[in-house]
Structure 1
Amino acid sequence: MTHMQPLDETFPIGRQLAVKAAPVVLVNLFTLDPADEARFLEVWKDDADFMKRQPGFISTQLHRALGDNPTYLNYAIWESTETFQAAFSHPDFRAAITAYPSSAVARPHLFQKVGVAGICTA
């Protein structure tokens, strides 16, 4: 089972879900034991397949940190906090996360794009 810890202890994912925003980007930082890496990737793939079929899902990408210890960063784009919350709280997803290796720690956080004049758009 994946253990969840807040990326920001003052504003954990449960509080973020109460904020109506659209679109949103989920950033999830995973750490785990090297021996569990293959299992983690299998379970993450299954979760991603499930999420791709959910209303409001736009895209996802998984990144592995450089180095010997497996640290992964996943980002997923959703139409809104409401669509993400529906998928995140779906009973099938909640049951599926129990398949993650016990060493896996997830640190999810929701973000919104920010526009900076001359650099990027919101």
Structure 2
Amino acid sequence: MSLLKSLDEKFPLERQLGIAAAPVVLINLFALDAADESGFLDAWTDDAHFMKQQPGFISTQLHRAIGDSPTYLNYAVWDSTEAFRAAFTHPEFVAKLSAYPSSAVASPHLFRKVAVSGICAA
């Protein structure tokens, strides 16, 4: 992948990986050229197959922006930051990043669910 860009420059993914939290949700926003969508989907599918086999993986869902926007959002649930970190830094996964089209820019960020009384549970 040509570029990893933080959603929050003040607290990039590298810092998030050092925080013990469970469970965690990865939100990864991908921007790319429309001509690269097929190559992007092939690379993402290969990555998803790898991640699905890793300890602590719970689920993932890829979303595409509506209309003509070649923007994608991946939502993935992990047992813990530790499990995600082990998978994300695994040499086999890191090697797969070069399969993404050069136009692809990924913006990964980790989240935890928030409880809001009467609305949603954590």
**TM-score, length basis structure 1:** 0.98
Q: Report the 3-state secondary structure (helix = DSSP H, G, I; strand = E; otherwise coil) of the residue aligned with 2:10.
A: coil
Match of 1:93 in 2: 93
1:25 aligns with 2:40: no
Aligned counterpart, 2:71: 71
| Conserved 8 A contact 1:23-1:112 | yes
Aligned partners of 2:40 and 2:2: how far apart in 1?
10
Q: Distance in 1 between matches of 2:100 and 2:2?
A: 5
Q: Does 1:108 align with 2:108?
A: yes
Report the Cα distance in structure 1 between the residues aligned to 2:69 and 2:22, rounded to whole angstroms. Answer: 34
Q: Secondary structure at the match of 1:27?
A: strand
How many aligned positions are there? 122
Work out whether residues 33 and 69 of structure 1, in 8 Å CA contact, stay in contact via their aligned partners in 2.
no
Which segments of 5 or more consecutive residues in structure 1 lack a partner in the other structure?
none
- Percent identical pairs in the alignment equals 69
* Structure 2 unaligned regions, length at least 5: none
Write out the 4+ residue segments of structure 1 that deviate beyond 2 Å after TM superposition.
Answer: none
Q: CA RMSD in A?
A: 0.6
